[in-house]
Structure 1
Amino acid sequence: MLSSVIIAKSSPPNSPNGSRPTSPNPMLENRHTAQAKRRKFMRRILMFRQMDFEVAMWQMLYLLVAPQKVYRNFQYSKQTKDQWARDDPAFLVLLSICLGASSVGFAIVLRLGFLQFLKFLLWVVFVDCIGVGLLIATILWFVANRYLRVSVPIRQDVEWGFAFDVHLNAFFPLLIILHVVQLFLYIPLIDGNGFLSTLLGNTLWLIAITYYIYVTFLGYSALPFLKRTVAFLYPPCLIVLCLYVITLIANWNITRNVMFFYEYRVLQY
């Protein structure tokens, strides 16, 4: 009788044989956690009073002068909030404002009407920034998790939200170089058929894309469970440099052709 009572007390609830209940699927738990993070982010995207615009502006400034410091902030976020991705949409809101302001400049240079300006703005935000960003972030997220992750006792994965944040971080300096600096130089210096115009315009593209690659590399190299992250730095930079030399030899002005493409897609679609 005593032994049966001891067995009954030692057996967990809903376990008639005294066996331990099966633990939930860890992949399912991670998926639910990611979904909860996305819902929290989307709920806050219209709550401007809860956004920390001061930190977002600080990040934008340092992305231009010392991007390493920005990713230290991401490491602090991992330690305090247990996630690498941003939980505050303030950076995305400020980036959208910058895209809108720079689009006004393009509308002036290209002499676009109001409806054409709105169409151009939608293209820049939802195609050039978000659409291309979704593609790049997904590819790099897959490559990092599949080929660059270090085998550790506790499995750690690259968060897709962090991969998209890395794209946004890298996109901001590119935006400043190509949509602000280049725009001021376009009419007086770049919009010409000569080699110097091609050299200046293409060099700005080289700087912008190389800086995008560098900030992207810094983002993934900040993750302690990834190895060989230089694969995101040297091969892309080599390809971009080769294309840069080819465009100079062919005297193909990237900026002028991009402007023609912008004007064409706004007027035609």
Structure 2
Amino acid sequence: MFARSDSQESLPLPIFCRMDCTSAAAKRYKYLRRILRFEQMDFEFAFWQMIYLFVSPQKVYRNFHYRKQTKAQFARDDPAFLVLLALWLLISSIGFAVVLRLGVLGFLKFFLYVVLVDCIGVGLVVATALWYVTNRWMLKPACRDQDVEWGYAFDVHLNAFFPVLFILHVVLLLFYHVFIAQPWFVSLFFGNTLYLLAVGYYIYITFLGYNCLPILQGTKALLYPLTGLIFFYVCSLALTMNVSTAVMNFYHYRVL
């Protein structure tokens, strides 16, 4: 269903300028209008994307190129991925409510906080910052009449957020009480390593999202935060700081 022929992959990417497509406002309206029409969403393809964000994220971004060729935009026009992500957030929030022993009100506050702040709020900040940086300093001189779509920048955030959600809200949750929360160095090492993998994955998938755009240059700079991440990871082990426990305490008290 999702396979592409070699001839399709070898087609050169067309060049689109800002004014040759439907306006950004019209695209957003079309996207939001479909968000409650489940019969129009391709959930199978969205699930495929989630799997390949772990297995081979390059294939996910290759599909964004196909969308640019056929629909003149890199950003998703199908909200199925966002709907599935919201479902994952709901399920993981129920798990957190059980682990943190939250009541119904606490669960609702936690779920809204995760969706509105951790996912959407952080996404708005990161997507807007990278949208500005890439359009301001990373456009190739020959591509100044083009730009990175803000909707695509937000899609890159959602792509990078899903592995973080799975690692920290599913895998970590399963091991938290029985292993990670124990006062052993191996528990601290395992929990902090999960955070290293999750944040590292976020940085790497974000880099892939912008590196695949033919109008950008110098995107390797987006990998620089990995250096700071590794430094923090080493320091956390040296100082025996259990990041997982600290974050769990933060999660618990922010919904009180």
TM-score (norm 2): 0.91
Higher alpha-carbon Rg: 1
Quick one: distance in 1 between partners of 2:33 and 2:145? 29
For 2:247, the equivalent position in structure 1 comes to 258
- Mapping for residues 1-269 of structure 1, pairs under 5 Å: 29=19, 33-152=23-142, 155-233=145-223, 235-267=224-256
Q: Distance in 1 between matches of 2:215 and 2:117?
A: 32
Q: Which amino acid aligns with 1:240?
A: L
User: How many residues are paired up?
Assistant: 240
Identity of aligned residues (%): 60
Letter of the 1:174 partner, please give it: V
Q: Provide the C-alpha distance between the structure 1 equivalents of 2:228 and 2:59, rounded to a whole number of angstroms.
A: 27
Residue ranges of structure 1 left out of the alignment (5+ in a row): 1-25
Correspondence for 1:3? none
**For 1:89-138, what per-residue CA distance to the aligned partner results, in whole angstroms no more than 9, with x for missing partners?**
00000000000001111011001111110110000011000000110011
State how far apart, in whole Å, the 1-side matches of 2:225 and 2:144 are: 31
Cα distance in structure 2, aligned partners of 1:222 and 1:36:
25
Between the aligned partners of 2:35 and 2:159, the Cα distance in structure 1 is: 18
What is the TM-score with the length of structure 1 in the denominator?
Answer: 0.86
Measured on the aligned residues, the alpha-carbon RMSD in Å equals 1.5
- What SS is found at the alignment partner of 1:87? coil
Letter in 1 for 2:123: G
CA distance in 1, matches of 2:250, 2:143: 51
Higher relative contact order (CA 8 A, sep 6+): 2
Deviation at 1:197, TM superposition (A): 1.7
Query: What runs of 5+ residues in structure 2 fail to find an aligned partner?
Result: 1-16
Distance 2:69 2:212 in 1: 13
Greater shift, 31-40 or 130-139, is seen at 31-40
Deviation at 1:194, TM superposition (A): 2.6
Name the CA distance, whole Å, in 1 between partners of 2:197 and 2:33. 36
Runs of 4+ aligned structure 1 residues displaced above 6 Å come to none
Cα deviation code 1:52-100 (max 9, x no counterpart): 1111011001011110000000000000000000001000000000000
Cα deviation, residue 34, structure 1? 0.7
Determine helix, strand or coil for the equivalent of 1:152: helix
